[in-house]
Amino acid sequence: MNKNAGRLLGIIVLVVVLVFGGLMLVRNLGKSNKEISEAEARKNLTKIVRDVDASTGTPVKGQVNYNAGDTTYQELPELTDSSVVVRPNTVLYAEIFASSEKTGADTDGYLREMVSKFNNSSQQINGVPVSVQLRTVASGQQVDYVASGKYVPTAISPSNTLSVKMLNAKGVSTEYAAESLVMNYAGIVLSNATYSTLVEEYGAANVQTLAKATADDKVIMGYTNPFTSATGMNFLITLLDSYSSGNINSQKAIDGFVSFQKNIPFVAMTTQQMRSAAEKGTFGAFVMEYQTFINDKSLSKNYRFIPFGYAHENPLATISSAPEEEKAILRLFVQFCEANGKDLAKRNGFNTVPDGYVEMTADYSGAELVAAQALYKENKDVRPIVAVFVADVSGSMEGSPLNSLQNSLESSMQYINNDNYIGLVSYNQDVCIELPIAKFDLTQQSYFLGTVKSLRAGGGTATFDAISVAMQMVLDKLEEIPDAKPMIFVLSDGETNRGHELREIRDIIAGLQMPIYTIGYNANIDALKEVSEINEAVCINAGTEDIAYQLRQLFNANM
């Protein structure tokens, strides 16, 4: 072959490659990587499920007997020493519950540092040495502990006064030792693309235009659970007020919330879950406090902060029934903070008003705020949820872990709305479909409860076989209810020694975009966390005493 012929052959080969590549490109035009990945994921899942060959159990009926009263006291965990971040160093002391942005490390440690300094400054009242004990407790959980009487400190310091108002509405009287220890502000963090969309298509970037853009499916918004998060609660009230100013529980507010909520993929249980989803591109907008925002150089450089709602005053509210000598300690502590804490507060990012902040002036009562939480719970499921609970019944779950699993599901299932669709799978070295997916009406609840209580432990552990079967069950049900939101809940100690491995189904989970919430019982929590993080779900590391409360909050937020 001469040189010209060789060049000609090379050109022909190149043209063929380009034409074929162009045809393949054209063939995939209009199909996203996600769609292609999902199709492949379904195909691979079918092979795995066929290989697993799950059996079918016989559902057992139980007697559903929900408590008519408030079960918060029973579900709240006993507080342990792990929640104490600063211990007292005197016999006489006062105790404070405070939110995490004040009790953490580094720039989140304002109150932690001030309490430590106070305790080391040899303070006295009437010649008696005094000090303060500081616990880290989420704002919503502070209300639950005190209102239920499970544990009552001398004072609470939630992120804002909404929590204090709700506590008062639940029958607990309080007094302000300080209306504000440090000032902070809630806001929406916007990507540049989201900000441009709001300004160019809706004329401004604020809660009202964000709500409209979310309802129009132009923006994906993330916010935190209003039952536990002060920022999430602030956002909920601001959103409802934007639809119906002065009447957050009106039908107009409900209708607006439903239109907004229909395009919310999930409500984050924690700020970290929300941040993780934002980093992966799930959210174009999400809520955050300004102090956290300005202390994160990457966020403050690449995102915009749009303030909203009520200021976060970080009050110190004493419980009126607390001993007078403990109240006096906290008054002395407040004076100490006023005299010595201003520079520290500024360095930690507090007391800085964000650009564009306009204070919300609507004065809602505690009863109205509590009613708004109920409105949220009743109306958040715009689309039904199709979920399968995957229960580990292997030998390592025998005894306390399985008892805890059964008790926690029994007590928390009442927080699952009955318009959702629920199924149950159990597994050891084998997988059993205990309860096919069906609407969670009273009959399905009865079968769910009875079957959960009948579970017995023994054998090996094939976690990823069971997850695969559960995903296939959900996909089959979605054929009937295509608009539903899929979820998987894995309840396990995290150990796996049989069947398929995570590496075999990781891409399937990612391709199906099916969130897998994991709940660990005396668990290898890292193994469970790895599963949940694939699609930005939550991993709950729950001991035997606090799992019921954790599940309650999870179901209140998402079920």
Query: In terms of Cα–Cα distance, which of 251, 239, 247, 240 is closest to 210?
Result: 239
pLDDT range class, residue 126, cuts 50, 70, 90: very high
pLDDT range class, residue 546, cuts 50, 70, 90: low
The pLDDT assigned to 543 comes to 58
CATH 3.40.190.10 domain span(s) along the chain: 78-183+313-347, 185-310+355-379
Q: Is 91 helix (H, G, I), strand (E, B) or coil?
A: coil
Task: Check pLDDT > 50 for residue 28.
Answer: no
Q: Which of 81-85, 103-107, 528-532 has the lowest mean pLDDT?
A: 528-532
Pick the CATH number of 45-62+383-558 from 3.40.50.2300, 3.40.50.410, 1.10.15.40, 3.10.450.50: 3.40.50.410
Pick the CATH number of 185-310+355-379 from 3.40.190.10, 3.30.70.260, 3.30.70.3400, 3.80.10.10: 3.40.190.10
The pLDDT assigned to 24 comes to 36
Q: Exposure string (b/e) for 450-475, b if CB count within 10 Å is 16 or more? A: bbbeebebebbbbbbbbbbbbbbbbb
CATH topology of domain 78-183+313-347: D-Maltodextrin-Binding Protein; domain 2 (3.40.190)
Residues 183-237 pLDDT 10s: 999 999 998 889 999 999 999 999 999 999 999 989 888 888 898 899 999 999 9
Question: What is the amino acid identity at position 304?
Answer: R
Beta-strand pair 485-492/385-392: parallel
Q: Where would I find the beta strands (DSSP E) of 361-430?
A: 385-392, 421-427
Q: Which of 16-25, 40-49, 315-324 has the lowest mean pLDDT?
A: 16-25
Residues 351-407 pLDDT 10s: 999 999 999 999 999 999 999 999 998 888 778 889 999 999 999 888 888 888 888
- Name the residue with higher pLDDT: 481 or 274: 481
The pLDDT assigned to 328 comes to 97
pLDDT range class, residue 463, cuts 50, 70, 90: very high
Q: What are phi and psi of 173, to 5 degrees?
A: -85, 140
pLDDT range class, residue 66, cuts 50, 70, 90: low
pLDDT range class, residue 69, cuts 50, 70, 90: low
Task: Check pLDDT > 50 for residue 33.
Answer: no
DSSP string, 60-79: --------SS--HHHHSPPP
Number of Cβ within a 10 Å radius of residue 212:
18
Residues forming beta bridges with residue 316, ordered by sequence position: 178
Q: Quote the tokens at residue 69.
A: 């009263």
Task: Check pLDDT > 90 for residue 446.
Answer: yes
Residues 129-181 pLDDT 10s: 999 999 999 898 999 999 999 999 999 999 999 999 999 999 999 999 999 99
**Chain-centre distance for alpha carbon 303:** 22
Residues 501-534 pLDDT 10s: 888 888 999 899 898 988 888 767 788 888 888 8
Number of Cβ within a 10 Å radius of residue 483:
9
Q: What is the mean pLDDT of residues 457-461?
A: 91
Q: What is the mean pLDDT of residues 82-96?
A: 96
pLDDT range class, residue 552, cuts 50, 70, 90: confident
The pLDDT assigned to 523 comes to 67
Q: Which of 43-47, 353-357, 548-552 has the lowest mean pLDDT?
A: 548-552
CATH 3.40.50.410 domain span(s) along the chain: 45-62+383-558
- For the entire predicted model, the pTM comes to 0.79
